[in-house]
Structure 1
Amino acid sequence: MGDKMTPIPFEKLLNWVLDEYKLKGTIFGISKEKFYKNVSKSSINILGENISTCMGPAAGPHSQLTQNIVAAYLAGSRFIELKTVQILDGDDLPVSKPCIYAQDECYNVEWSTELTVPNAYDEYVKAWFLLHVLMKELNLSDNRDFIFNMSVGYDLEGIKSPKVNKFIDEMINASSTSIWNECKKAINDNLDKFSSFNIDDLNSISNKICSSITLSTLHGCPPEEIERISNYLLTEKKLNTFIKMNPTLLGEKFVRNTFDSMGYKYITLNSHHFKNDLQFDDAVSMLSRLKKVAKSLNLEIGVKLTNTLPTKITNNELPGEEMYMSGRSLFPLSITLAYKLAKEFNGDLKISYSGGADFFNIIDIYSTGISPITFATTLLKPGGYERIHQLAKNTEAINSKIEKKINLDLLEKLSINVLNDKHYKKGWREATNRKIKSNLPLFDCATAPCNKGCPINQQIPQYVSLVGERKYGEAFEVIVNDNVSPAITSTICNHNCQSKCTRLDYDKSVSIRNMKNIAVINAQEEYISRLEPTTIKTNKKVAIIGAGVAGLATAAYLRRNGVNVTVFEKRDKPYGVIQYVIPEFRIEQSIIEKDFNLIKNYGVNFNFGSKDDFIIEELKKEYDYVVLAIGAWKPLKVDIVDNDNKTINALEFLEDFKHNSEVINLGKNICIIGGGDVAMDAARAAKRLNGVENVTVIYRRTKDLMPASKEEIELLIEDGIIIKELLSPKEVKDGKLICIEMKLGDKDSSGRRRPIETTNTIELDADTVIQAVGDTTDTTLLEKNNIAMNSKGYPITNENYETSIKNVYVVGDMKAGPATIVQAMADGKLVAKDILKRESISKDFKEKVIQVCENELYLKKGILSSPKLNEDESSRCLSCNNICELCVDVCPNRANVLIKTNSDNMNSHQILHVDGMCNECGNCGVFCPHNGNPYKDKFTIFWSEIDFNNSENKGFLLLDTTNNIFKVRREDNSVVTYKLGEENKVSDQFEEMIKACIYNYNYLI
């Protein structure tokens, strides 16, 4: 395996397309349901030609190979900007791998085609022919409804070189080239395979592949050189010409301020480019002169906005020192530059637009009169090429309304509004790593990240589907199978599941917590009413000390499986922090009571108001197992000097607030120290106190690095509370909180940038200071019972949370410090399972199997949408546990392929990696929910022995077609020669994959 792609001969491509469509109803993985046809017959005129949509792939990974261009066309692209060619090509062109990182905003370290210029030319001609064939054969259009636009770089000498000059001339007239004749002959030889495409259609294919060109110049190219090249392309080649221009035209100050205001402070710019790239005034002057030249030749001159923005590599996103940024973070810059340039020409400027174009803005861009529109980043995300279909449908509706001249009023409004548009602010996509803690398996890799991301592994796709069908009772039974605090977690759970949701890379996460809440509202009380305690199945008894979430969860899981359980709690009510600390404006008392009724009806015994100084050996005389679940109530403190005696603890304040909010008097100005959810609660509670005018949260890092959930931070801001970033409190004196200003240094062990003190101080008004910097466990009970602890004061446990004393467990915050509600339940679930196993009691955790319509799931791919507040939200769930295939979606080269097998030894849906089509861009690894890279870790088909020998991938190479003999690299990395059907040579899974390829996917061989 290497990073070199193997161009596919045209006749093989032709047969591949025909066979795949006939057998599977797809072409290069694009389903026929997503083939775009302009049913309205509307069109838009670009460069004197009518096409049915104004958009397509930008010069880049989606326009490099024939199959890429075909996939883009089928989904709805009609303006194809071919990948750039230059004199430096093939093996002489260094491209570091991986070269693409598109997790949010996109970065890349590749520039022009990785093929040789002649090979690139062949790919473009092959695509030209295939699109003509498919246009007619699939009845997509009666006449050619697409345009190819070539792209060249990077200086005049290179463009005039024999290699690139020949490329340009033959794109203008391809009739004498060998690949043209090869394609024409192959189609003619296979005419009997077509039902609609005929010899007249073949002969009418124009040999003029391109009448336009986009000039891509390296950063730092002098304006006079750009003008010389443009004049050459206009006067000598008679080509409509677009000039790529860079966001650096806006100036470093504007770019830096824009990034900072929109949450991209971490992006590191390179001042060099702003000084040495083309300057704005020079660009305007140059365009003015070139427009006169173009007009005299009856040609168009325009700009391509924008080229990618060079940024420094500071977080090892990609190899090297500098990378190029694109995607949604580039949109505010590109659209602003579009307005500034268009204004200089009173709207009379041809703009080919790229730079963050996607579902959320394409209509707005198009409505200004800008066209064509090209994109790359959005296609690198889940849904891939099939995203184009929705974009095409949306733009088709307004084709007839677009004016030739740019509407400056609309463009100005767009350039202003984008700065406050949530879709382009960094915080819109939750700053989360969607990876789950699992290695990518060779087979059976489909998984629901929401399920794996949930500490108790709730069956989320299943209950979301049932809620969508209004089957609330069934949905609730699925929920309560794993979650014994359903009402509470449907209200205040930190919903880690949503931070793993695949839709984060489409639009917004499915509102999973709200779907749970719908089931709770409609089904929990009825479920409780018919609940009867399970018969006791063992004479062993369990004592649980602490009635917080962890203790109650452990009790519930055990009791409903037939174990006698008693919970001891020193307070009068259950649920600890939730009951006594979390404000009622976040969770109502009725919600807490609803879940406690569930626990009680399972048959758990309770002993409230009990002592809290248990001697475990005494307790074990009556109980066979003991579970410690006392929580973490001991406050941590910031080391500050409090001269005014005005500092209080957040938990103590919140507990007081919950019962005495009307009489608490803390003064006018309240400062909260901390950045977690407790700090958010304390601040919002303080804001509701009589007499309080100002509440300020003090945090030593920046807001985007706060550990509090994004939702809680947003609610805080809505309440009018101010967040003061980069401040470290040191002293309270004379009604002032004195803080040292901080700056961010390198990342620490938490993955966040470390705050470093400066010499500057700042004073804030502070009548009361509330410390919310965390809490820890009181170790008295552990010490009293001689339970072994680590250096941090937490009990030492085994993998099942059993302490140094046999049959004594610890769960919840007491185990390792404050954590989430659902993590506390996960602790209880683990301990309960271990006790049940020891007592040989079968557990009642069951997986719900929901029958899904595969076709409906595939139709959802590539469709972006907005969250809904009701049961219809279920329609946004992609059911990743049934169909994942993200690596198929996001591969520009179509090198990851869905293979359906028929075996009892594996799931029917498997991923096959096609080595010859892969350039190791790495994009599939970015979006795979597992830890791994599909292009390295999935079962692979090889097209040559050289590639097989250069790879470590498990997979096969066909050696003998007649006798079905293969070279196979097995799971243990050993290599064998294998004849199909031969026993004990390869695993059943290997054999099934090879058989599927031979019999059902022969076009891949």
Structure 2
Amino acid sequence: MGKVTGFLEFERLEEGYEPVEKRVKNYKEFVIGLTPEQAKQQGARCMDCGTPFCNNGCPVNNIIPDFNDLVYQQDWKQAIEVLHSTNNFPDFTGRVCPAPCEAACVLNINNDPIGIKSIEHAIVDRAWAEGWIKPQPAAVKTGKKVAVVGSGPAGMAAAQQLARVGHDVTVFEKNDTIGGLLRFGIPDFKFDKGHIDKRVKQMEAEGVVFKTNTIVGDMPAGSKVTNWAKDTVSPEQLKKDFDAVILTGGAEQSRDLPVPGRDLAGIHFAMEFLPMQNRVNAGGKVKDQIMATGKDVIVIGGGDTGSDCVGTSNRHGAKSVVQFELMPQPPEEENKELTWPYWPIKMRTSSSHEEGCAREFAIATKEFFGENGKVTGLKTVHVEFKDGKFSEIAGTEKTYKADLVLLAMGFTNPVNTLLEGFGVEKDARGNAKASTDIGGYKTNVAGVFAAGDVRRGQSLVVWAIREGRQAAREVDQFLMGSTTLPR
């Protein structure tokens, strides 16, 4: 259990950041990870609780007390084995997961939780540096073929699990490179795309075939995807050529804001804005890139995507950045007696906010206005949530200048006709209808499974990995009649 008195002797250690004035000049990762000695000290704080709530707080059920103890004992090689036993890509989650495990840490009841995420980060980085992460090709091939549609974390996790038990797996991706929203939605300063590239090489060595620039089904008319996608394949062809199909295409339909003036130039979805910069960072050429340079920027949406827009705008050299959130400002600290071990609602300030951003809460946009067809500002009003709905507060109307407005209000459902093409039944939100019970992830179409955001709606990377792993187990069971894959 690490050091018996460790939780009494040592304080929580946070990962460091490069100074703001340095990091906003580039798009490189700026988190300074723990040293081996610091990670050992954090591991020493773990109490190896009789009921480790952190395990259940983690969507992939990482065996957290075990790898904490192994880091304390400085057995790093065994620590990565334990970590990989539940999580295919700790190099992803160790960077971009919000760490619900830490909210569930027993030490969090009356103290600061263990830095579980920082320990995970340290373990996987050490494992790559030491050359411990290697391909694990199957010893025996089954002769079964599986198609995975979508190469985000759910698709990658499902593909890797199935390849390792001997199936021939092909991943179809409509973009020109692998990774889904990990690749195009999360800025490079939060998550360097080289981490995806290393895993793709590992998976290719394990037998996974990746087919990019390939649309499965039809895209809506006018979709920007068709500007660079080269190939199409029909759902009927996939069902004919493969023994099973897993749909992991994500939920990329951005939530819109249908108020007067929405059609003015200069108002964009976050997922129009963010991928452009990622493509430029990768050395690509982007026509008519949306830039925040010298502009008054309004970001509508207070979540992670909105925060990413803030950080990218700051790196562009925006004149000012203001972020709107419809909900009221949460408390600085949660009431742990009421919320633990669940994820609490409390004030969270991201590294992007620290780089420069004004934040407005309980605010709604009523109208955009502009000149010569371009947005120049917007009108707002403060709101309160009462009787199950938002009501405007009289006398709180205000006007903001805006040369660029970024809509970051979340995502709802898949963007193309993927589900219709396969004949997959949808739930009330427009996502694939498939249960997660034992024997689950099956759609109403025989041999077709769904996992990740395409099934559950917008969620976290760690939930996508969980669903990809679990769906892989159900597919293996479906194909072979039994399975050795963990659930």
1:803 to 443, 448, 451: 443
1:647 aligns with one of 264, 267, 270: 267
Are 1:757 and 2:376 an aligned pair? no
Q: Which runs of 5+ in 1 are unaligned?
A: 1-32, 35-382, 391-444, 749-753, 847-1005
What is the Cα deviation at residue 664 of structure 1? 4.6
Give the corresponding residue for 1:792. 429
User: 468, 474, 480: which is aligned to 1:834?
Assistant: 474
> Could you say if the C-alpha distance between residues 756 and 602 of structure 1 is closer, same or farther in structure 2, counting changes exceeding 3 Å?
farther
Counterpart contact for 2:310–2:353, Cα < 8 Å: no
Deviation at 1:759, TM superposition (A): 2.6
Residue 778 of structure 1: CA displacement? 2.0
Please report how far the alpha carbon of residue 669 of structure 1 lies from its aligned counterpart in structure 2 after TM superposition.
0.7
Are the aligned partners of 2:168 and 2:208 in contact in 1 as well (CA < 8 Å)?
A: yes
Counterpart CA distance in 1 for 2:486 and 2:423 is 35
Structure 2: 5+ residue runs without aligned partners? Answer: 11-48, 218-232, 333-342, 371-375
How far does residue 590 in structure 1 lie from its aligned partner after superposition? 2.3
Work out which of the residue numbers 290, 303, 306 in structure 2 matches 1:679.
306
Q: Is contact 2:175–2:214 with CA below 8 Å preserved after alignment? A: yes
After superposition, the Cα gap between the structure-2 partners of 1:550 and 1:620, relative to the gap in structure 1 and judged at 3 Å, is same
Q: How does 1:940-959 map to 2 (within 5 A)?
A: none
Amino acid at match of 1:682: C
C-alpha distance in structure 2 between counterparts of 1:681 and 1:814, whole Å: 22
Q: How big is each residue's C-alpha offset from its partner over 1:177-196, in whole Å with a ceiling of 9 and x where there is no partner?
A: xxxxxxxxxxxxxxxxxxxx
Larger Rg: 1
Relative contact order higher in (CA < 8 Å, ≥ 6 apart): 2
The corresponding residue for 1:825 is 465
The 3-state SS of whatever aligns with 2:60 is coil
CA contact (8 A) 1:650 1:682 kept: yes
Alignment counterpart, residue 693 of structure 1, candidates 305, 311, 319: 319
User: Equivalents in 2 of 1:665, 1:559: separation in Å?
Assistant: 41
How many corresponding residue pairs? Answer: 401
Query: What is the rounded CA distance, in whole Å, between the counterparts of 1:560 and 1:806 in structure 2?
Result: 24
Change (3 A) 1:812 1:530: closer
Contact 2:216 2:235 in 1 (8 A): no
Cα distance change on mapping 1:481 and 1:558 into 2, 3 Å = same
Q: Distance in 1 between matches of 2:246 and 2:310?
A: 34
TM-aligned CA deviation for residue 551 of structure 1:
0.5
Task: Assess if the C-alpha contact under 8 Å between 1:676 and 1:708 holds in 2.
Answer: no
Q: Which residue of 1 aligns with 2:364?
A: 728
Correspondences of 1:77-88 after superposition (within 5 Å): none
Q: Which residue of 2 aligns with 1:488?
A: 92
- Please give the TM-score of this superposition, normalised by the length of structure 1: 0.38
**Could you say which residue in structure 2 is the equivalent of 1:467?**
71
Matched, 1:782 2:413: no
Aligned to 1:637: 256
Q: Find 1:713's aligned residue among 349, 368, 372.
A: 349
Q: Which whole-Å CA distance do the structure 2 matches of 1:632 and 1:453 have between them? A: 24
Cα distance in structure 2, aligned partners of 1:807 and 1:779: 21
**1:138-177 alignment, distance < 5 Å:** none
Matched residues in 1 for 2:120 and 2:454: separation? 28
What are the within-5 Å matches in structure 2 for residues 565-714 of structure 1?
565-613=169-217, 614-642=233-261, 644-660=264-280, 664-666=290-292, 667-690=294-317, 692-704=318-330, 713-714=349-350
Please report how far the alpha carbon of residue 835 of structure 1 lies from its aligned counterpart in structure 2 after TM superposition.
Answer: 2.1
CA distance in 2, matches of 1:459, 1:529: 19
1:384-533 equivalence runs, <5 A = 446-524=50-128, 526=130, 530-533=134-137
Q: CA deviation at 1:829?
A: 1.4
> What corresponds to 2:145 in structure 1?
541
* Counterpart for residue 21 of structure 2: none
Q: Are 1:460 and 1:512, in contact at CA under 8 Å, matched by a contact in 2?
A: yes
Q: CA deviation at 1:792?
A: 2.0
Distance 1:665 1:562, change over 3 A: closer
* SS of structure 1 residue aligned to 2:316: coil
Query: What's the secondary structure of 2:172's corresponding residue?
Result: strand
8 Å CA contact retained: 1:696, 1:724: yes
Q: Conserved in 2, the CA contact under 8 Å of 1:812 and 1:827?
A: yes
Post-superposition shift, 1:619? 1.5
In 2, are the aligned partners of 1:646 and 1:768 still within 8 Å (CA)?
yes
Distance 1:637 1:708 in 2: 27
CA distance in 2, matches of 1:536, 1:565: 14
CA contact (8 A) 2:330 2:345 kept: no
Distance 1:713 1:632 in 2: 26
Q: 1 CA distance for matches of 2:134 and 2:158?
A: 22
Q: How far apart, CA to CA, are the structure 1 residues paired with 2:198 and 2:302?
A: 30
Q: Distance in 1 between matches of 2:352 and 2:346?
A: 10
Is 2:473–2:486's contact at 8 Å kept on the other side of the alignment?
Answer: no
- Which residue of structure 2 lines up, in the alignment, with residue 773 of structure 1? 409
User: Using the alignment, how far apart are the partners of 1:624 and 1:551 within structure 2?
Assistant: 17
For normalisation by structure 2, the TM-score amounts to 0.76
Shift in CA distance, 711/809, structure 1 to aligned 2, threshold 3 Å: farther
**Contact 2:473–2:483, Cα closer than 8 Å, also in 1:** no
Letter in 2 for 1:632: A
Cα distance, 1:526 vs. partner? 4.6
Structure 1's 705 and 562: CA in aligned 2 closer, same or farther, altered over 3 A?
Answer: farther
For residues 828 and 719 of structure 1, the distance between their equivalents in structure 2, rounded to whole angstroms, comes to 35
Partner secondary structure for residue 688 of structure 1:
helix
- Aligned mates of 1:480, 1:710 — CA distance in 2: 31
State the AA in 1 paired with 2:355.
D
In 1, the alpha carbon distance for the partners of 2:55 and 2:408 equals 31
Q: Which amino acid aligns with 2:177?
A: K
1:448 is displaced (CA, Å) by 1.2
Shift of the alpha carbon at 1:637? 0.3
Contact map agreement 1:494 1:709 (CA 8 A) in 2: no
Q: SS in structure 2 opposite 1:770? A: strand
Query: Counterparts of 1:528 and 1:609 in 2: how far apart (Å)?
Result: 32
Share of identical aligned residues, percent? Answer: 27
Q: Are 1:552 and 2:156 matched, yes or no?
A: yes
User: Does the C-alpha gap of structure 1 residues 530 and 577 become closer, same or farther in structure 2, counting only changes over 3 Å?
Assistant: closer
Higher helix share: 1
Q: 1:708 to 1:627 in 2, by over 3 A?
A: farther
SS in 2 for 1:515: helix
Report the Cα distance in structure 1 between the residues aligned to 2:486 and 2:443, rounded to whole angstroms: 25
**Alpha carbons of 1:536 and 1:528: their partners in 2 closer, same or farther (altered >3 Å)?**
farther
TM-superposed CA distance for 1:659, in Å, is 3.4
1:743 partnered with 2:384: yes
2:36 aligns with: none
Contact 1:491 1:517 in 2 (8 A): yes
Amino acid at match of 2:154: A
**Are the equivalent residues in 2 in contact too, given 1:677–1:709 (CA < 8 A)?**
no
- CA–CA separation in structure 1 for the residues paired with 2:448 and 2:404: 42
Measured against aligned partners, the alpha-carbon deviations of 1:943-963 in whole angstroms (never above 9, x if no partner) come to xxxxxxxxxxxxxxxxxxxxx
C-alpha distance after superposition, 1:341-378 (max 9, x if no partner): xxxxxxxxxxxxxxxxxxxxxxxxxxxxxxxxxxxxxx
Task: Give the superposition deviation at 1:591.
Answer: 2.3
Judge conservation of contact 2:216–2:234 (CA < 8 Å) in 1. no
Tell me, yes or no, if the aligned pair for 2:137 and 2:164 is still in contact at 8 Å: yes
Q: Is the 8 A contact 2:135 2:203 kept in 1?
A: no
1:529 CA drift (Å): 5.8
1:525 Cα offset (Å): 5.3
Give the secondary structure class of the aligned counterpart of 1:482.
Answer: coil
Change (3 A) 1:727 1:581: same
